[in-house]
Structure 1
Amino acid sequence: MSKKLDEESRLYDTDRHDPTGSLFHSWTYGEYFHFWLQTINTYCNDGMTQSDPKDTTEIKDSTANANLQPIILIASHKDKLQVRTCNPSETFYSQLERCLSKEQTLKRLISPYRYFEVECPPGALTQRQQMTIDCVKKCIVETVQNLQHWGEKVPLKWFELEKILNNEKANGKKVILKSQFRKTAKYHAIDEDDLNDVLRFLHEIGKILYFSVNKLKDTIIIDVQWFVDAFKYIITDEKHFARKDNINPLVNTGKITGQYIKEIWKNIHVNPDVPCADTKVSIETDRHHNSLWQSYLNHKDEILQYMDKLGLMTRIEGHVGAHNEEEMYYIPSMNRTDLSDDSKDEIREQQKSAMMLYFFKTYLPHFFFFRLVVKCLKKWKVCDENSFYKNAAFYKAEDAGHYFVIAVSKTSIQVQIFTRDETVNLDEECVKKIRQTVEEFIKEITETFHRGIIYDMGFSCGDIKITDEDEEFFLKETEIKREIGNSNEITCPKHFRGKYKHKIDTCKILMCLFERTSTLISSDN
């Protein structure tokens, strides 16, 4: 509560990871609040509300419905509260609500009944402060007991296997082979089908990482935090991420060699800012450091394969590094290179399709964009060496002379097909083929989450530049199809009066439409 929600966090939290130049460069505290709600909404179970007459707890929302994905808000450091607004009567909860997009449905996730303001004094809590903490505890217990899975029965022998995995982890193991673990399962009377169910269950609750596909089907990561840290060390390594001069300039574009990844892991330091006056402690720290980086090097292939599966990174086929023809990887979230205005203008001047927009009501488009970029890279070749940007990626279609760009805004994924040669006309079949494949990828990515992601497919009504914010220009496909009819040009149904009134070239939209509405992938179907 001591932070002003309209302030840019990077200006004040300088001790944290520096987002300068990234997609999060100018984010305020309020935008990060919005971001975390989107994150929870993305990766957790369905948060739609439903009527529950038996629920008499205080976890209901303002409509007296029980939320299946309840979020408890704790506003901390009330004792350091400052005046943040010209309207002192406005509550902090109201300010948090104002941070949320009007077009999205995130407000249903929070409730004043699950909101608490707590103080963080340096000394002991007063009786009043302790009572607030007790209310928080009570809310947590009541919320958990009202979740759908509370009381669900799970075979006891599953937990025997979980206990064995915990012991292996406690003994320093990071990865085990399913072929070896199968013997342990058999000893506990668990056959192959049951073993797959156990692994799926432990994966779902976050105890392990396991995918029964291709190269991953025999690899079980039992130390999830170890795996997460492996990726964290790569993207936050100060040697390259601080963007110092002459240090691996490729990283500015999200590219990194396999050799450099190994160098990052090898140079991991455990709490390097904490002085070790005690020689014994220093030796123990060095031993831990050596053990950690060695575990990453020993399991490099498995780690990178899992990162690829999760859409965090991918190998760029046909590309080699600067040294010894080392493999090259692309990590979209590391890219801090801006798409220049000249590049945006170049697309606008070419023959191009309408800008297709996938507007996400509840999902986090930035991280969806990262995964989509990785997915498309496995299907299409890039235009050239400079095809990757922090908010856009360029690809070359199979049809000669056709290219397309995938970009991201705060609320949408953008797709636009274009040519680089004025003598090459856009081929309608090529446009439709690209759209269909991209939407298949979108569908595939959404199915990796707990629930279907809610989004609408549509078009930009204005001739905006790629990566521009598009919320004010979004026209839902089902609506624009009714307006078009057989006309080559119509007045924009969204901006039909005043100075913003303009026409829409419907030929560019018609080129993108499928003949059968049933083939469309959107939240309407």
Structure 2
Amino acid sequence: MLKVVTDKRHWGETIPTSWVHLEALLMKIKERQKVLQKTVLWDTLSSKSDQQILEFEGEEDMTTALKFFNNIGVILFTTSSESIILDVQWFVNAFKHIITDESHAKLDMVKNFKDWDNFNKNGILPNKLVTEIWKLDICKEFKYMEYTKDLICHMINLGMIAEMEKDEKYYVPCMNKQKYDISVLKKCICSSTLCFIFQYLPLVIFHRLVARCISKEGWRIWEHNDQTNTDDTNYCLFHTAAILQDKDGVKILIGISENKNKKLTYRYSIEIQGFVLQGKEMQAQFTRRKREKIIDHINDLTSCFGANYDLTYRIGYRCSIAPFSDTPTSHIILETADECNPCREGVDINHLRSFWMVDAASEDNAVDNNEEKHKKNVDQDTVAQRTIEHADKPNTLTSNDEQRDGYEENSNPPTGNDEESQPLTSIDEQRAGYEENSDPPAGKDEESQHIHHFMASYSSSG
């Protein structure tokens, strides 16, 4: 347990004294409300600059502190949102009510069960269903409806859901149960299959990658699925695959594969394949661009693994070019291989790589980038450390981290840690036992008054 704690990236870091007091202030405010607007916090802090313990050089300094608190799990905050989620457990519970299981939905969603049943099959969530869920009696006391916009915004930023139609419809990958059928790729010309190989089944990373590509890259969902058995859509969204399309016309399939053969070296992978319809030309420059974007997202999703090298990924390819299958018969080979040992056949690796790399023969340095990726993370942490240590009287967070790690109820949303390998059902079971905080949030107009009150009492007691 000691090793797990001390391996955390932020273990032993020193932070400015003002950050320590800001964290205490935020936790005090959390007792009254769950969401705080960043502008309200800054206006209040800047108006109280005579209080040395909460003095910041500027709004950017406060933003840096908020990012740090987000990274260690104290709050939820991103620069793409103006709101700060003060109670992470409250946020998790809001999502828990959306992804509830069928037995609970039959009891709680009697009037809207048909809509919920479609959502439970394909993961497509109408905004009106979100409203109906958060208006249920079991949710009223937690005031989710008052903060719908903030909750949805953070769920999108975290890759838990993706917005399909603004303020109207969302995609929740972890709820999709539609079976993938390879016939959806009939009459298509496919690229080679790019594989990100993991030591475990990276289901949550797959879900968040799909959501990110929709939300952040603007890739729309391909509507060419004639295999659907739901009343809602013909979107190409499945339990183990999603087919997206960019403006350039190239379709990108993002899939997840698990090989049951325990003798194989590479059993678990997220796989990417580009394709066009018959009669069109597959232009490699489009798939190459998407490779870089997807690598950036996967690097970000796995960046919190820190020193756990065995949990990062390697890059390879399927040994033959064929439409994606979630139960493949082909094998995965690394980028440096020139033959497939299980098949006992030679492989033209440069041809496989040519769909995804500009100069396949000269890019061997990209084969296994785990060491470089972690070195980059360490370098970034070093820069951040130097920034943090500018304070005259830094404090260490060691004891705070020890305390936080002991809180069973502090269940942050999926962030790429070693819980990724657990199926969502087990996560739901854990969430079901969480103790919920029912303190009512203060209205927006009251936020500044509450903060002034907390700061005055904090200052007098400090």
TM-score by length of 1: 0.56
- Aligned twin of 1:161: 22
Q: CA deviation at 1:341?
A: 4.5
Where does 1:27-426 land on structure 2 (aligned, <5 Å)?
68-69=3-4, 153-171=14-32, 173-182=33-42, 183-184=44-45, 186=49, 187=51, 188-191=53-56, 192=58, 193-211=60-78, 213-214=79-80, 216=81, 218-236=82-100, 238=102, 246-251=114-119, 252-269=121-138, 290-292=140-142, 295-317=143-165, 327-343=168-184, 346-347=185-186, 350-361=188-199, 365-378=202-215, 379-384=218-223, 385-400=234-249, 402-410=250-258, 411-421=268-278, 423-426=279-282
Q: Secondary structure at the match of 1:308?
A: helix
Matching residue of 2:439: none
Distance, in Å, in 1 between the alignment partners of 2:17 and 2:357 is 53
Taking structure 1 as reference, are residues 449 and 258 closer, same or farther at Cα in structure 2, changes over 3 Å only?
A: farther
Q: How many angstroms does 1:304 deviate by? A: 0.6
The question of 1:523 aligning with 2:366 is answered no
> Does residue 494 of structure 1 match 2:320?
no
> CA RMSD, aligned part only?
3.4
Shift of 1:461: 1.2
Q: Using CA pairs below 8 Å that are at least 6 residues apart, which structure has the higher relative contact order?
A: 2
- Mark the structure with the bigger radius of gyration: 1
What are the superposed Cα offsets for residues 201-220 of structure 1, whole Å, 9 maximum, x if unpaired?
Answer: 32233221112x23x1x311
Against the structure 1 CA distance between its residues 168 and 521, is the aligned structure 2 distance closer, same or farther, given a 3 Å change threshold? farther
After superposition, the C-alpha distances for 1:121-174 in whole angstroms (9 at most, x for unaligned) are: xxxxxxxxxxxxxxxxxxxxxxx7x98866655444434333332222223x01
Instruction: Give secondary structure in 1 for the equivalent of 2:125.
Output: strand
2:421 aligns with none
Contact 2:195 / 2:332 at 8 angstroms: preserved in 1? yes
The offset of 1:442, in angstroms, is 2.8
Q: CA offsets, 1:71-116, max 9 Å, x none?
A: xxxxxxxxxxxxxxxxxxxxxxxxxxxxxxxxxxxxxxxxxxxxxx
> What SS does the corresponding residue of 1:312 show, helix, strand or coil?
coil
Amino acid in the other structure paired with 2:205: F
Contact 1:68 1:148 in 2 (8 A): no
Closer, same or farther in 2 for the Cα pair 1:408/1:148, shift >3 Å?
closer
Within the candidate set 294, 309, 318, 1:438 is matched to 294
Alignment counterpart, residue 473 of structure 1, candidates 323, 331, 351: 331
Q: Could you tell me how far 1:440 is from its partner in structure 2?
A: 3.4
Unaligned runs of 5+ in 1: 1-58, 60-66, 71-143, 270-288, 319-325, 484-491
Contact conserved, 1:208 with 1:223, CA < 8 A, in 2? yes
**Structure 1 residue aligned with 2:355:** 511
Q: Deviations over 1:163-199 (max 9, x none)?
A: 332222223x011122222324733342135433432
Q: Post-superposition shift, 1:356?
A: 1.1
Secondary structure of residue in 2 paired with 1:209: coil
Contact persistence 1:235–1:241 (CA under 8 A): no
Per the alignment, in what secondary structure is the counterpart of residue 302 of structure 1?
helix
The AA in structure 2 aligned to 1:233 is H
Report the AA paired with residue 377 of structure 1.
I
Deviations 1:363-400 (A, max 9, x none): x6211111111122133222203211111001224344
Please identify which structure carries the higher helix content.
2
Distance 1:521 1:262, change over 3 A: farther
Helix, strand or coil: the match of 2:153? helix
Once residues 214 and 4 of structure 2 are traced to their aligned partners in structure 1, the CA distance between those partners, rounded to angstroms, is 34
Q: Could you tell me the percent identity over the aligned residues?
A: 25
Q: Give the counterpart letter for 2:210 in structure 1.
A: V
Q: Is the 8 A contact 1:392 1:467 kept in 2?
A: no
Residue aligned with 1:351, SS: strand
Residue 465 of structure 1 and its aligned partner are, at CA, apart by 5.5
Describe the shift of the 1:247–1:239 C-alpha distance in structure 2 as closer, same or farther (beyond 3 A): farther
- Please give the secondary structure, in 2, of the residue aligned with 1:426: coil
Aligned residues: 333
Equivalent residues in 2 for 1:449-468, closer than 5 Å: 454-462=312-320, 466-468=324-326
With over 3 angstroms needed to count, the CA separation of the structure-2 counterparts of 1:229 and 1:450, relative to structure 1, is: farther
Partner of 2:385: none
Unaligned segments of structure 2, at least 5 residues: 224-233, 259-267, 373-462
